[in-house]
Structure 1
């Protein structure tokens, strides 16, 4: 089903992009199809009578853009809470891959590691400072589990190899028009050593600055409103609740 989903997405671009570019963009279709498969096979979301696909009638779907990301336009109807069907709706959808995120934390020194990098979303919005403090993060590739992605990205972006990864939360940051889904982990590790000032993969155009700071310094950023990446804010608020509790002490 995953491969069929990827091929269907690519074929929707027939006549829109050069066929010679199919090999270039098909791996991204596979990765997005893998995220689709993760959603379809999530055991925490049981099938319900009258829910899911059975309650949505897709009248048309058009792939407007399919490269690193995808943009689709849907015409559909869905079941309303009173049992009737909605009017015909036109909706645009930004199709992204699932992402794994890690907040490295040293419970012995009460320090965390953050990364800083240029972010196109902030720049495109008009942000005067599009370099943002963030957790370690990366897209879940085909064949990977989210926790495997978290380990890979921790090594690529910060050189961290030995982490005890604890699931913190997962979910949709903006479900109204995006498929983006985050899998967030707390990464218990040793941050007492020296860390290089930069990381990331040059082949992917990454230019990353690493920052090791006390938990209090990071939490003060949240209080001051200067932490503008919401998954990081959520993680720091949860860590503030758990750092003296069972989540960290038992790990």
Structure 2
């Protein structure tokens, strides 16, 4: 039993959309810290859990990132072309299995050893997704394909190799604006003492 299980009583759950992923509206009672029950209603978007990875070359201090079009960013005033760490939904695989397949599909690198560095909820106010964050070493010998994603899934991914210092500068300049990517880049920079 988790710590808040006795403080939440589900009253009603309605499915609002079950198209791409599942959007639900749930009404529940929540026992506040002052011991008063309060009725609340929240919408949750369930797309499953995911994994993300930053490929890092320790000798050259370079990283491999991707650039692809993201429609939600586009409709929020961005040009939609986001620079990101490779990522994907788990789709019933373990985080380690899924991220190895995803990084190969997106970047063309076949990575064997991955290191899990942390887990995080990226938008816990509305999205149920938990992301598993990984880093892995890479070098030119591990590149077995050109990457680019799967065309039949609408992916058109450009693979970028950048010095870590340049990637960190792109965060400062507002060019890298993807949260998971910023977290991974800063994690590696902190490990290096930058």
Query: SS in structure 1 opposite 2:75?
Result: helix
Contact 1:105 1:191 (8 Å CA) reproduced: no
Aligned match of 2:16 in 18, 42, 64?
64
State how far apart, in whole Å, the 2-side matches of 1:184 and 1:141 are. Answer: 16
Is the radius of gyration larger for structure 1 or structure 2?
A: 1
Match of residue 84 from structure 2: 134
Deviations 1:159-182 (A, max 9, x none): 111342111221111111110211
Candidates 73, 79, 92, aligned match of 1:122: 73
- What is residue 108 of structure 1 aligned with on the other side? 59
Deviation of 1:97 (Å): 1.0
C-alpha deviations, 1:99-119, integer Å up to 9, x for none?
100101111211100000000
**Closer/same/farther in 2, CA of residues 192 and 160 from structure 1, 3 Å limit:** closer
**Structure 2 residues not aligned, in runs of 5+:** none
The structure that is strand-richer by fraction is 2
TM superposition score normalised by structure 2: 0.92
Unaligned runs of 5+ in 1: 1-46, 246-251
CA distance in 2, matches of 1:177, 1:161: 34
Specify the alignment match of 1:153 in structure 2.
102
Structure 1's 193 and 72: CA in aligned 2 closer, same or farther, altered over 3 A?
A: closer
Instruction: Establish whether residue 228 from structure 1 lines up as the match of residue 177 from structure 2.
Output: yes
| Cα separation, 1, equivalents of 2:165 and 2:174 | 14
CA distance in 2, matches of 1:183, 1:162: 16
Query: Aligned partners of 2:97 and 2:75: how far apart in 1?
Result: 31
Deviations 1:12-58 (A, max 9, x none): xxxxxxxxxxxxxxxxxxxxxxxxxxxxxxxxxxx35xx33322111
Structure 2 contact 52–88 (Cα < 8 Å) conserved:
yes
The residue correspondences of 1:37-116 to structure 2 (distance < 5 A) are 47-48=1-2, 51-86=3-38, 88-116=39-67
Runs of 4 or more, structure 1, over 6 Å off, are: 192-197
Moved more, 100-109 or 183-192: 183-192
Aligned-pair CA distance for 1:194: 7.4
Query: Over aligned residues, Cα RMSD in angstroms?
Result: 2.0
Q: Deviations over 1:40-93 (max 9, x none)?
A: xxxxxxx35xx333221111100010122111011111111122212x212111
Q: For the Cα contact (< 8 Å) 1:198–1:207, is it kept in 2?
A: no
What is the TM-score of this pair, normalised by structure 1? 0.72
